[in-house]
Chain A
Amino acid sequence: MNQPLILIIEDEEALRRFLIPTLSGRNYQVLSAATGTEGLAMARSHNPDLILLDLGLPDLDGMAVLKELRLWSHKPVVILSARNQERDKVRALDQGADDYLAKPFGAGELLARIRVALRHTLPTEVAEPLLRSGGLSIDLDRREVSRDGRLVKLTVLEYRLLEALVRRHGKVATHRQLLAEVWGPGGEGNTHYLRIYMAMLRKKLEADPTRPRHFITEPNVGYRLNLDAPGD
């Protein structure tokens, strides 16, 4: 019961042929549209729980579809984009997309992203105060972070950054979003601040900062906090 409804807006026949059976075999209901206009119409009529949106559509720019969607819907949108389109990805994410998948992607990656995107819409997840993953534990209630059982002291900014990442853990957070949340409006230009604080967080919270397991870099896009890492 209560199978989430996923709308695929993708013009490539081959990708739809891969996506539809993969998702319907995993307990999702699937709808698909081949054009932006059709996709928007279906989104209005069926109100899906999640939308997979291709950025390169024949009729409407994927970006335009996203803007239109965001006028009335807050349901998660996962962008499907080609490699080397970092700029478009960032724009889509800043416009309100929740995550992205770079083609070609595997079924495992697809399902993981969908799971994360849907999880954030469930009310039960928001209240979870204690997060644990591979030696790292974050207690949002007591504002305590520890690694391998030892308490780690974080500065105010480091903690704020960590909090911002935790809020959307599993999903990508763009540089812009993190800068706005941690440094406030006007801080968007100082990407290197963010990078330096990320480096400091890694140094304190990763076993090997050059092989991060939790604080994953999405080059030229942003960061992703991965709390499903296996134990060290």
Chain B
Amino acid sequence: MQSLACDPGSGAGLFTRFLCGTLNPMTAQPRPILVALGSEARALRLIQAAFHLARERAAPWIAVHVDTGPGAAAEDAEQVQVWMQEAQQLGAVVQVVQAPTLAQGLSEITRSSQAQALVLGRSRDRWPWARLGHSTADELQRRGLDAELVVLDDRPDGPGPDARGIPFSAMLGTLVVLVACTGLAWLVPREGNLSLVLPVYLLGVAFIAHRWGSGLGILASVMGTLLYNFLLETPRFQQATSHWPNLLFFLLMLLAAQLVIGLIHRMRRQAKEVQRRERHTVSLYLLGRDLARCRTPREVATTAAVHIRRGFRAKAWLLFPSQDQWQILPDPGTAPDCLPPPAELLPRLTMVERLGDPLEPLPVGEATCLSLTGTDRSEGVLLVLPEGLDGLPPWTWELLQVFAVQIALSLERLRWLEEARRAQVESETERLRNTLLGAIGHDLRTPLAAIHGAAGSLLLPGEVDAATRHDLLTMIQEESDRLAHLLGNLLDLTRLESGALQVQKEWQPLEEVVGSALGRMEQRQGALPVRVDLPEALPLVPLDAVLIEQVLINLLTNAQRHAPGLDLDLRAWQEPGWVHLEVADRGPGIPVDFEERIFDKFFRLPEAREGGVGLGLAICRAILQAHGGSIHVESRAGGGSSFRLALPLDGTPPELPEGAR
């Protein structure tokens, strides 16, 4: 057997790789990498190890859980679920195998999936000989798998044996060890060889205490003394405690056993503490990672509730004060209903924070409240309601506090993001306002100056000949039209953007709005060279006639301005769910770079002749967006540009009268 140890440098533990069988790295399709997951906290490290190995070898990877049948606690199953989801998020395929033993299940799946490597963990909490002989890794090796075994050694894990009463096997084991010790001691020559007998019994008691717990250890030390006294001390089969070496033997044995038991105890406690901390770290890591993805307070609340349920078996809500009420997220359905109002609860929380034990949360009925305090202010309150009857055990308080801090920080992050966004919108509004002022400065003043001037010269004393008089009056009319148009556009856009203008959609034939738009244009400026092509079979379209008429007028006016006198085409066609309308001209066209930007407010093509302020198309886009549709411009084959509107046919079309269409 070849065994090599290497440190991956990640501090994740010691990797030991056993190579069994032959490796075949030259296969075309890389064989998958398996990782065996249980419910232990170190599973996260196994997942990471497998993930990195798979990435290193560009191989797919499979997370396997071997279900060894009933007997697994429900919470373990839940934890396994969590790890499997973790693995899945990192790209693993997830598989659960039913088998009587872990080793059997793993060897089966390794064979069937033709895995190149199997990553599994092993606890160090065993005696060296147990590790060599009975670990799953050894078992797998014996089965001769054609796969590399990557064993991730770890700190002790799993509950201590004394945690769950004293099983029968432990008592039997204790008895066997004691009998073995007595047998060994029997072999030692009798007289005065206490110095040899004592270590034998000490070793036995220490083993028992370590293996099956301190209770049996004490029992074994007492029983060992009695056995020695009854069986080994002369005269045999009677107690002779009056003999002082025997008494000393008894005392020494008890003391030594206690010392060993005490040491083992401390070691166990430390191991448990380490394990607990590791669990905390992992749960905090998972919480932090999920919180970082949240984009709304509701998502934060949902994430917090999920993680607190997982870590504390408790329901959790976030409370936000809004006036005299609490706004409860994510789902206030089962929240305790006897919550004190914010004005009462918040000062109490502040008191607890300032004066009380920082680790003790504030009880509210059966629930517990924690202040969610970010760096500068309270972001809300975390309400935790334990699902069991015992309430929250004190050892969870510390972790809960850290959870609360994490949640508070992520709420704070969201608030800052929102503030930053608002500030950006404000500065954007400010910029727009400046542009607007600039545009108004020029575009309002010019016609005003013309009107003022024309009126002034008409009022001058003296004769003005009829032709001049007519010219001046015509100019006054035209310029005031321009002013009215500009003001109308500004108002429309303001109303559309502020949401003050509500779209009144009604199902109607497209030709009606086309007709009224053309009619209005022609009434203003005479016949237009527009070819209209509306198919007979077009359905009714839900639209706001006033607004769509405005769009058509804006597009036709633009076309007239940039391609005066040239032919225009107005076409419509249907697609499933949509009706398209096209206004196409033979003008100079729109450079590709500007096809998006021409719909921006106050944007004018650099070479545009005088005319609009750059609001018409912005209004068109706002109107189409308000309809749930869109507008874009394309270059037209043969020159010119084509503005295309898409109007959604959403909702149920009304019933048609009989005989119509």
Contacts and interface: CB of A to CB of B under 8 A. Distances in A.
B661 A196 contact: yes
Interface string B630-661: 00000000000000000000000010110111
Interface in A193-223: 193, 195-200, 202, 208-212, 216-220
B516 A219 contact: yes
Interface string B477-512: 100100010001001100100000100101111011
Contacts of A84: 491-492, 495, 501, 546
Contact of A219 (B495, B549, B656): B549
A217 B661 contact: no
B637 to A, nearest CB: 24
Contact of A196 (B509, B518, B546): B509
B515 interface: yes
A200 B513 CA distance: 15
A86 interface: yes
Nearest to A87: B504
A216 to B, nearest CB: 6
A104 B480 CA distance: 10
A210 B514 contact: yes
B400 interface: no
Nearest to B506: A191
A217 B508 CA distance: 12
A200 B511 CA distance: 11
B546 A197 contact: no
A190 interface: yes
Contact of A212 (B488, B509, B519): B519
Interface string A134-166: 000000000000000000000101000000000
B660 A196 contact: yes
B491 A209 contact: no
B99 interface: no
A181 to B, nearest CB: 16
A210 B532 contact: yes
A163 B501 CA distance: 35
B495 A209 contact: no
A106 B484 CA distance: 12
Nearest to B504: A220
Nearest to B660: A196
A192 interface: yes
Contacts of A86: 504, 546
A83 interface: yes
Interface size class of B (residues with CB under 8 A): 35 or more
A209 B654 CA distance: 23
Interface in B102-148: none
A198 B512 contact: yes
A218 B549 CA distance: 10
B278 interface: no
A169 to B, nearest CB: 16
A199 B511 contact: yes
A150 B657 CA distance: 27
A199 B512 contact: yes
B660 A197 contact: yes
Interface string A21-49: 00000000000000000000000000000
Contact of B534 (A106, A210, A212): A210
B366 interface: no
Interface in A172-199: 190-193, 195-199
Contacts of B654: 190, 192
B582 interface: no
Contacts of B379: none
B412 interface: no
Interface string A2-16: 000000000000000
Interface in B56-102: none
A155 B661 CA distance: 13
A218 B495 CA distance: 21
Nearest to A195: B508
A219 B507 contact: no
Contacts of A157: 657
B649 to A, nearest CB: 13
Nearest to A209: B511
Interface string B445-456: 000000000000
B545 interface: yes
A210 B545 contact: no
Given A192-B656, A199-B511, A219-B513, 9 more contacts: A86-B504, A104-B480, A190-B657, A191-B508, A199-B509, A209-B511, A210-B534, A212-B519, A217-B516
Interface of A: 83-84, 86, 104, 106, 155, 157, 190-193, 195-200, 202, 208-212, 216-220
11 contacts: A86-B546, A192-B654, A193-B660, A195-B506, A200-B660, A202-B515, A208-B532, A210-B534, A211-B519, A219-B516, A219-B545
